[in-house]
Amino acid sequence: MALIVQKYGGTSVGTTERIRNVAAKVKKERDRGNDVIVVVSAMSGETNRLISLAAEIDENPAPREMDVLVSTGEQVTIALLSMALQKLDCDARSYTGGQIRILTDNAHSKARILDISGKAVREDLNAGRVVVVAGFQGVDEHGNITTLGRGGSDTTAVAMAAALKADECQIFTDVDGVYTTDPRVEPRARRLNKITFEEMLEMASLGSKVLQIRAVEFAGKYSVPLRVLSSFEEGEGTLITFEDEVMEEAKISGIAFNRDESQLTVRGVPDQPGIAYKILGPIADANVEIDMIVQNTSQDGTTDFTFTVHRNDYQKALGVLNQVSNDLGGREVKGNDGIVKLSLVGVGMRSHAGIASKMFKALSDEGINICMISTSEIKISVVVDEKYLELGVRSLHETFDLQQA
């Protein structure tokens, strides 16, 4: 007998009919003889509705009250789901985060889980009950309600699975798994049967928004096998697991991309110790996150720096950079907020040479100019003009044989 944690997101519990559908799926798992803990989100749209109610009263409400408010969405779902399970003669009990003491720090609206006491849950499971837990919420040491950040129910599910040493944590959502790339860009994208935690983190942080990143990190850290699957269709979904368990011998798992990039360059700054700090320090101080950084080898004692930031931060970063360049006697500042980043992701590239050159050839065959390149152990990223995003993704997808058979 296994212990399975299942998490159903907002669209999966969006109506009472869908809640009944979830209850049927949970019961099916019980009937297989497994113990089940179910973590649910608020019904779809509910969290946003609550947030806008608050905005009608105060543009800047107290974070503590905000958490009391938005945590109610999940409380509705746990009660309705438990009722639906009981109606199917499946014994079930609902709990808020506070009731089972999901202890968090006191950072309202972005709290971190510190500890979960599995005791009450264990007793229920032993008594043959399904335990239904409100996602996204906990309590701090003083009993104040906290929430974990948007999409936080994923993290609740993984944390429950880790605390109770579950055999698998299944995230049911409206997609049927993790794909080789975004099917809206490449219709021939293929669902992956397995992917490693490392790859998933690269894919997720690059914009394949299937799971909350924090949940993936958490699952990797506590060795919780994670599966993403559809609540509407039958299927195996995608298992996120460890490298030695990934049997598919693909070198590359997927193509991630990020549309919202911009690039800034400062030319002709003196090449001396501390220069990178003098340029990038003020950017960081302005709370702008820097992604790729390139420094040229120096010529005549001067050098150039290019870096990328999120497009929303472009104007701010440009302002800071102009100021810094003036102070340092730089020759010119240039920027481009019409660029995107394409990344090839795969643990297989560790043991295979020639992946980068194959990638660059594919792009050059399409006449796509590469503006910047950066690499890590399991990823090669290039910056290109935004007009090449679709073409670039499709040609790489084809070059690395990722399309459906």
Chain-centre distance for alpha carbon 53: 27
- 138 belongs to the binding site for Mg ion (CB under 5 A): no
Partner from Mg ion, ligand ASP, none contacting 135, C-beta within 5 to 8 A by type: ligand ASP
Using CB under 6 A, which residues numbered 46 to 105 contact ligand ASP?
A: 47, 73
Contact 96, 75 (CB under 8 A): yes
Position among 38, 96, 134, 136 found at the interface with ligand ASP (CB under 6 A): 136
Asked if 153 touches ligand ASP (CB under 6 A), the answer is: yes
Which residues are paired to 376 by β-bridges? 379
Closer CB to ligand ASP, 95 or 388, in the complex: 95
Q: Does 135 bind ligand ASP (CB under 6 A)?
A: yes
CA distance 206 to 259: 9
10 forms part of the interface with ligand ASP (CB under 6 A) = yes
34: left (phi over 0), alpha (psi -120 to 50) or beta: beta
Site for ligand ASP in 259-278 (CB under 6 A): none
- The two tokens of residue 360 are 């660059």
- How many other CB atoms are there within 10 angstroms of residue 356's CB atom? 14
Comparing CB distances to ligand ASP, the nearer of 151 and 330 is 151
- The SS3 call for residue 263 is strand
Q: Nearer to Mg ion by C-beta: 40 or 100?
A: 40
Helical residues (DSSP H) of 71-171, grouped into ranges: 72-87, 119-126, 153-163
Q: How far is the CB of 52 from ligand ASP (least distance, A)?
A: 13
From the CA atom positions of the chain, what is the Rg in Å? 24
Rule CB under 6 A: say whether 14 interacts with ligand ASP: no
The Cα–Cα gap between 151 and 289 comes to: 22
196 binds, among Mg ion, ligand ASP, none (CB under 5 to 8 A by kind): none
**Which partner from the list Mg ion, ligand ASP, none does 220 bind, CB cut-off 5 to 8 Å by kind?**
none
Site residues, ligand ASP (CB under 6 A)? 9-10, 41-42, 47, 73, 135-136, 150-153
